[in-house]
Amino acid sequence: MESLSSKRYKKEFVSTFPGDDSGSLQPRQTPGMLYSKAIPTPVEKPTLLAWSEELAEALGILKPTDQQEIDILGGNLVTDTMYPYASCYAGHQFGHWAGQLGDGRAITLGEWEAPDGKSWELQLKGAGPTAYSRRADGRAVLRSSVREYLMSEAMHYLGIPTTRALSLVSTGEPVLRDMFYNGNAAYELGAIVMRVAPSFLRFGNFEMLNARKEVDSLRQLVDWTISRYYPHITGEDKVVTWFKEVVERTASLMVEWQRVGFVHGVMNTDNMSILGLTIDYGPYSFVDNYDPNFTPNTTDLPGRRYAFGKQPSIGYWNLGCLAGALLPLVEKDQLLATLESYQEIYWTKYYTMMGNKLGLDELRVEDIALIKKLEEMLNIVQPDMTIFFQLLIDLPLSVESAEQAEAHFREALYEELTADQRESLYTFATDYLTRLNTNTIRRQDSQRRMCKTSPRFVLRNYLLHQAIEELEKGENTLFLKLQEAIKEPYSDKYDEFFQTRPGWATQKAGCSMLSCSS
C-alpha cells in the first residue's frame, strides 16, 4: 500500500504523444496536440466526504490520513512525478458533429501502477478549467459529483464494465449552475470526484485526429491503444481485428445496460469508451416503470434520441462514427463488414441475457417469440422493471386467472391495471409457465440463474436526490447507507429500498428529469 503523495506516477500517454506543455488554461483549439497540460486550480477547503475502500485496496492506495493527501484529491497539491493534463478529443453530440471538445472539467493527474502491475489513470473531475473548458468554469457541484461517485461504483457491483470512483471531496466553494438551462442559475456546493480507469480514451479521441487529417498521429494512437490495452491482437490486420473487438465490447455493454434498465442519457461519441466501459455519468437513470421511450435527459427532449429502447441502435451508430475515423487506416469494405457484425453480436448476447432473466435452461428458437411477447407486455403494463423481474422469480407454477397474475405482480405496479393490461400480463404468464415447465434444469437452478441476472436493488434517482439533499444540510446517513447497498445489489439485505418510485418523485426536479449539468 502506498500513499497518494509518495507514489511515483507513470506518464506513458504524455510521454508518447505530442501535447501543449504551456500550461495555459485559456480556451483554444489545439491542432496537432493530443492533450494540454492543466494544473488543477486550488480550492478553499478540500474535505473528504467519501472513500472507496475496496477500490483503494485493489489499487494499493492508502486512505488519506492528513490534509496533504486530501489536498491531492481536491486539486490543491500536485506531486513532483505527476503530469496533470486534459485530453483533446472531438465528438458527435445528439447526432451532429461538434468539432473539438476535450476534457473541460476533468484533469488526469497521472498513471498509478497497482500491485498486480496494471496501470490506472487517476483523474479529477471538477478541479478547474482546462484549455477545453470553452465558456465553462471546469468545476462540478456536489449534486453531480455524488451521482457520479455512487453510480460508477454501483455499476461495478452490478457487474457492468465501468470507470470507477475513488473519492469524493467537497471544495468549500460555491459553484454557479443553471440546472435546467432555463435562466434560473443558483449557487450550489462545489465538489470533486477522483475517477479511475485503465484509460479514459473515447471514440472522440480518434475522431479528432481524423477530422484534422493528422493521419500519422491517428495511426500512432491506434497502435498504442492496441499494444497497451489489447496486447493479444497482432498481425497485419490488427486494426480491423481491434475494431471488431471494440464492436463486440460495445454490443456487450449495451446488453448489460438493457439487462438492468440503465439509461445513460447522453450517448454522444465523446462519451463512448474505447475499452467498452460505461463512462461519464451525467443525466442517467434506471428505468422505473418500463418504458422504451424513457429518457432522463431534458436536453434529449423531444426527440428522445438516447431513450432506453434506442441505446443499442445508438451504440451501432456511434461505432459507425468510429469506423469513419479509421478510414485512413483500413479498407472501407473491411470496416463496413466488421461494423455490420454488431447486429448479430448484439442480438445473440441480448437474447441469451433475456433467457437468463427468464430462468430458461437454454435459448431455443421458439424462445425469441416468448421474449418479444414479454417486451410487448412490459410496454403495455409498464410495471416497475426491477421489481417485476424479482417477482417473476417466485411466480407460482400455475396461474389460474388474470386476477391472480395481477395480484402476484401488484408490488411492481404503479396503478390499477385496465382489462387489456390485465389480460396481457396473464397471457404472458401462462405462456411463460408453459415454457418453464419444459426446462431440463431444476426450478431452484432456474431461479438461481434469474437471481444472478436481475438485481434486487438499483440506485434510483429519487434515492440519490434524497441523499444529496441530506448532504447539502450536513447529514450523511442515507448517503452512507446507499454506499453500502450498492455493493450488494443482488441480495435482499437492503429491502427497505425495494419499492416503486414514490408519487412525489414523479415530477420533482432531479428525480424524474435531469440535464447535462446533472
With 0-12 CB in 10 A as exposed, 13-18 as middle and 19+ as buried, what is 107?
buried
- Within 181-313, strands assigned E span 186-197, 262-263, 285-286
Q: State the Cα angle at 220 between 232 and 216, rounded to 5°.
A: 145
Joined together, the cell numbers standing for residue 372 give 418479444
Cell 441475457: give the residue.
353
Joined together, the cell numbers standing for residue 32 give 496537432
| Contact between 167 and 483 (Cβ < 8 Å) | no
Active site residue 270: yes
103: alpha, beta or left? (left if phi > 0; alpha if psi -120 to 50): beta
Q: 140 pairs with which residues across the strands?
A: 191
**In the chain, what is the straight-line distance between the N-terminal and C-terminal CA atoms, in Å?**
34
Give the pairing of strands 186-197 and 285-286.
unpaired
| Contact between 377 and 428 (Cβ < 8 Å) | yes
What are the DSSP calls for 115-143, one per residue?
TTS-EEEEEEESB---TT-TTS-SBEEHH
Dihedral (C-alpha) 393, 394, 399, 403: value to the nearest 10 degrees?
-100
Set 103, 270, 280, 288: catalytic member: 270
| Contact between 196 and 59 (Cβ < 8 Å) | yes
Give Cβ neighbours of residue 438 (< 8 Å, ≥ 6 apart).
none
Report the run of H or E that residue 410 belongs to, with start and end: none
Q: What are the φ and ψ backbone dihedral angles of 238, each rounded to 5 degrees?
A: -65, -30
Catalytic residues: 270
